[in-house]
Each structure stands twice: as structure tokens, then as C-alpha cells.
Structure 1
Amino acid sequence: MQRRNLMLAALGSPFVAASLAQGQAPAWQPSGPVRIIVPFPAGGTTDILARLYAQRLTETLGVSVVVENRGGGGGSIGADVVAKAAPDGQTLLFHNLTFSTTTAALEFVGRAPHVLERDFAPISLGANVPMLLLVGAQVPARNLAEFVAWAKAQPTPPFYGSTGPGSTMNLIGEVVKRDGGFQMEHVPFRGAAPLVQEMLAGRIAFGGDQLSSSLQHVRSGALKPIATLAASRARALPDVPTVREQGFASAEMLGWNGFFAPARTPEPVLARLNAEIAAAARYPQLASRIAELGAEPGGNSAAEFGAAVHEQIAAVRPLVRELRMQVE
């Protein structure tokens, strides 16, 4: 889903409109430690990025900023912790693009413990990280067409992995099945790190991961990238075509990682947090480390970040309904 006229598309959303009122960062100061909830196990891209930001924010906020991993439910368990937290700026969520798909899937089955656009306030983009579609080294495919042909020739449907029912990779797996006209069996995991380990072991044929945490396996040949989800090719892997180039345009998604606070967090608190996160994204050592991961530093305004998320949710919801995605 391409980023097109994001501000115009989202100006009517209260999720974004609330963030437009933010002005200069006032002198709000946290009264104690700040928790950043990462709704996935340690070791994945989202966790790595959160820890980089936590280290810098500890220095600039003058209080301890710690990362707490709460995996499960495609990210919904950790997100719900933040949705129910006090709106005081001291419990934050660092999530990624799968937030939009799990939100839509939980809404579809009528079991949403929270609503992204109602229960969370956007703060800032942490980083844009391209997401790769990968196959194990044992799969003789170099692109999506070859993978589809291989899968169709198997005596039993191959396995594809995701970070949980309703997650981005769950949605992408179902889209690829639909558009390719073949079958795969879904195997959910609690995060990208265990999914990648099972792909390396050869038990999962097809999956997806953010570029930064899978790049080492791609460069070693242990995993093979066959597509990127972004609108353009990844700078780190310019020879890997996008899903749109390969005839799977419905699978295109922007790979964001970003910060949220509970809804009803006061504007002065959001403004200070946005200013500190934006400054951290520009900090040379942090920006350089993010670039090394194959990602692009964020640090945009709450309005810009909220608009991007709003548009992605709007694009994902009809796909979730059409595919009748289930959440356990």
C-alpha cells in the first residue's frame, strides 16, 4: 500500500486530528522510569530498534527507559498492556506494520480488546524497515513465480510461517495463496525470531521478516529473498523485485516501526516525547546504527505518522474481510 497523499487521506480521522494540535515541546518530565513495550520476543527488528531508542532516550530524558517484551497474539497482547496503562507518558508501545493487520483481524471476528485509532495516540515513526518475503535454502525458487510453481508441484501443501494469527505475514501468506492459486498451511509463531529459526531449520518453506534482522541470513545464503513488500526495491538488496513487480500488488505494504502512547495522554506529554524521539532519530550514532540495519530513521511528526498508519489500516480492512482471517 503506497504512501500517497497521506495527510490528505487522514485529516478526517480523530486519530490524526488530535496530533495536529501539538506545538513546541514543553517542560514535561517523567517522574520515574519509562517502559517501552515491544509486543514480540527479544531478538527481532522491532526489539532491536526499541533498545537503540531506549538507550538514547535514557540519556536525554534523564530517567531510565527500559524495553519490556510482551509477545503473543500477533502483537495484540503487548499492545493491550499499553492500551490499559495510565496515560502519563511512562508506558509506551513500540509496534510495527503488523499492528494494522491484527487490529483489523480482531475487529473482523468481534474480539478486539482495543481499537488502534481509538485507544492509542501516535507519537512518531521510529524507522521504516523493508519487509522481505523469504524461502528456505532448500526451496528451489528465486522469485514468487518460481515459488508458486514449486508449491503447486508438492505432494502436500508447504508450510508458511507468521508472527501470529492476524499478523502481517498471516495476511500476506493468504494473499499470495489467493493470487497464486495454490495452497499452503499456516504455522503461527510468537515473533519473527522463532519463525526465522524454523525457516533456517528447513521446517518452514515460506515466511517474511523485516530486512534488518534477516539480512545476515540472506547474505550467508541460509535464506533466499524472493520479494520485498515495499513500493520500491530495498537499497540493501537492489536485485530483489517488489511484490508489485511480480504481479502481487495486493501484498504491498509499508514496513514501519513506531511509537504510540495510550489514548488520552496529555498533549504536552506527547509533544515532549515526539521531540525527544525525533532528536534521537537525528543523533548521528543512532541514525548510523539504524542505517546499518538496512532501515531508514524516522522521527517525523505525530500527524505524519498517524496519517501513514491510518491509510494502511484503511487498505488492510477490506483484505481481512475478504480473506475472512481468524484470530485465535
Structure 2
Amino acid sequence: MKALRVLFLGLSVLLPAAAAAQDFPAKPIKLIVPFPPGGPNDIIARVVGQRMSEIAKQPVVIDNRGGQAGVLGTDAIAKAAPDGYTIGIVSASALVINPTMEKVPYDVAKDFAPVTLVTTVPEMLVVASNVPAGDMKELIALAKAQPGKLNFASAGVGGMPHLAGELLKLTASIDIVHVPYRGAAPAINDLLGQQVQMAFLDLPVLLPHIKAGTLRPIALGAPKRAPTSPDVPTTAEVGMPDLLIENWYGMLAPAGTPEAIVTALNRLANEAMNDPQVRQKLADQGLTVAGDTPGHFRNYIGSETQKWARVIKAAGLASGK
């Protein structure tokens, strides 16, 4: 009899969750983007979110919450109701780099329910047009001949472009100076104006300038060449296989979201990402569609945290928490 009561209680908990998942989504979904409109995070959310809306027959409403390199918007996801109706697409900087470098208001391992890795974005190393280096070998030789004289721009302290530059310094044993900007656009403006000499940045924001010939590509930090820039070698091809640098964006729900709802979100997101038009739109931006399981994405976040923690420690970038 006692066993039957326990079974009944267990079913009374599971059945409502299962029923909710079967009907999910029954109302609009809010998709938080922790950056202003126009950047890669926003583009990804709008392309994938639009297809999710069409499949689910419910609106997917983009909510841009910029600030503190993605920390503010990411914290809003953590503090949302865990019902699947407020989710977000978050970058590596907010989930891996910032929490390693400084104190943030959320615990990545405890405050989120990973849904799926959405896209990976290779970082490309470019130089200003007046830099007398046409390839990686020449650039490293130039930096070694002028220690502390060459600057590398980033989209802000703690972002993937910043860590990419630090990894280049460590891998090539060169002394180059970090110049942080508030976003990729002002960093590119100063590259074009020859105020800084080089930068690793997300491929999508660099493509127009590479195609126009106003910035010179050196290498792509990805396992294979990008279809949008087939003539640019990978870092492995130029003899630096450890300089593998890809930004990435993943979908999260708040911790406590029922597993059945997380599974439904995963299924919906992956169906959207597998749509040929979605894949093509993202590929045109230099983005590679990923898509995986919640468990695999959780493990991926863990492995990326370990990788970049080593770089942060070696570069002396971690502040006291």
C-alpha cells in the first residue's frame, strides 16, 4: 500500500509536467539576447527564433538586454521563471570567460538548464592595411622585431576576441598590447583608420572589409577553412594548431525548467536549425550551425571553461572574486 502511495505521488508530479510538455508552447516565448541589436548574437537569435515561431505556431519575441559583455542579459535568463517561456541565446564570453575572470551574479553550473549549442563562429586574425605582413610568419617576425609596439584590438575586456589575442601572445611568444573597445564596430573603425594594427574578431563582422580589401586576413582559428573565405588558411595550416579559436552561442533555459520542457525546446530549436534556409542564412554570415543534446552542451560548456581558464591564468587576467 505504501509503495502504491509513493508511486501515485510520483505520477502526480510527472503527469502535469508531461502534459505541459505535450502542449508546449501554448503561448509566446521570450528569447533574451544579452547584446544590443545588430551583432552576431542578435542575428542568430532572429534567424533561429523566426523559424522556431513558424514551427511552433507561437511568437518568439526577441528581448535585447545588453550590458556588461552579456552578463546582464544572461543574469536575466537565470532569474526568469523556469517554465520554458523565457529562454536565451548566450555567447561564450558570458558563460565561460567572464565567470572565470571576475565575479558574476550567476553560477553557470547551477543557474541554467542548457538546451543546445546553436552555432560556432570562427575568429579571424586580420591586420590593418599598412601593416607590412602578408602572413602569420611575417606578422610574428614583425612583432618579435618590435616588442610592445604592435597593438591588437578587441571588442571588450573578457570577450573571445580578447582571449584570442592573449592566446596568440602565449602561443607565438610575442609581446603585443591589448586595446579594448566597446564592441566590434569601433574596433574595426580604428583598424580601418590604422590606429591599431591587428585583431581577432568574429568572421561575420569582418567579411565586408575582407571582401573590400580594406583589412588583410592572416588566418582563421577554425578546424577547416570557411566557405565565405576559402583563400584564408587556418591557424593549423600556418603551423599553429593550438591557436584554435571559435566563439559560440548556445540556448539556455533557467535552472529548474522541467526536463520534458527542455527536451521540447531542444527538439524545436534543432528542427529550426536543420531548416535549409536557416542554415544558408547563417552560413552567409560566416556562422556554422551546431545543434546537439542538452547533456552534450553542458559538457561542452565545461570543457570550454577549462580551456580558457588556462589562458586567463597564464595571461594573469583573473581578478579577485
Give the superposition deviation at 1:316: 1.6
Matched with 2:5 is none
Matched with 2:101 is 105
Alignment-mate amino acid for residue 296 of structure 2: E
Matched with 2:9 is none
Give the superposition deviation at 1:325: 1.0
Which range moves more in the overlay, 114-123 or 268-277?
Answer: 114-123
Counterpart Cα distance in 1 of 2:243 and 2:171: 9
- 1:323 aligned onto 2:315: yes
Matched with 2:71 is 76
Percent sequence identity is 35
- Mapping 1:230-249, distance limit 5 Å: 230-249=222-241
The alignment covers a number of residue pairs equal to 302
Give the superposition deviation at 1:52: 0.6
Structure 2 residue corresponding to 1:128, chosen from 120, 137, 140: 120
Matched with 2:3 is none
Counterpart Cα distance in 2 of 1:93 and 1:194: 26
Alignment-mate amino acid for residue 73 of structure 1: Q
Give the superposition deviation at 1:32: 4.4
- Mapping 1:204-223, distance limit 5 Å: 204-223=196-215
Alignment-mate amino acid for residue 73 of structure 2: G
- Mapping 1:17-166, distance limit 5 Å: 26-30=21-25, 32-98=27-93, 99-106=95-102, 111-153=103-145, 157-166=149-158
1:276-310 per-position Cα deviation (integer Å, ceiling 9, x unaligned): 11111122221221222233323322223233222
1:82-108 per-position Cα deviation (integer Å, ceiling 9, x unaligned): 1222222222221233332222222xx
Q: Considering Cα pairs closer than 8 Å and 6+ residues apart, tell me whether 1 or 2 has the greater RCO.
A: 1
Consecutive unaligned residues in structure 1, runs of 5 or more? 1-22
Matched with 1:196 is 188
TM-score by length of 1: 0.81
Consecutive unaligned residues in structure 2, runs of 5 or more? 1-17
Counterpart Cα distance in 1 of 2:119 and 2:147: 41
Matched with 1:291 is 283
Give the superposition deviation at 1:30: 4.2
Q: CA 1:142 to 1:74, structure 2 compared with 1: closer, same or farther past 3 Å?
A: farther
Matched with 1:300 is 292
Q: CA 1:90 to 1:204, structure 2 compared with 1: closer, same or farther past 3 Å?
A: farther
Matched with 1:14 is none
1:163-207 per-position Cα deviation (integer Å, ceiling 9, x unaligned): 322221211212222333333332223333333333233333222
Counterpart Cα distance in 2 of 1:85 and 1:190: 27
- Partner of 1:219, secondary structure, is helix
Measured on the aligned residues, the alpha-carbon RMSD in Å equals 2.7
1:205-263 per-position Cα deviation (integer Å, ceiling 9, x unaligned): 22222222322221111222211112233233233222234344443134432211122
- Partner of 1:27, secondary structure, is helix
TM-score by length of 2: 0.83
Matched with 1:268 is 260
Counterpart Cα distance in 2 of 1:77 and 1:157: 35
Counterpart Cα distance in 2 of 1:69 and 1:134: 29
Give the superposition deviation at 1:31: 5.4
Alignment-mate amino acid for residue 138 of structure 1: N
- Preserved CA contact (<8 Å) 1:136 1:202: yes
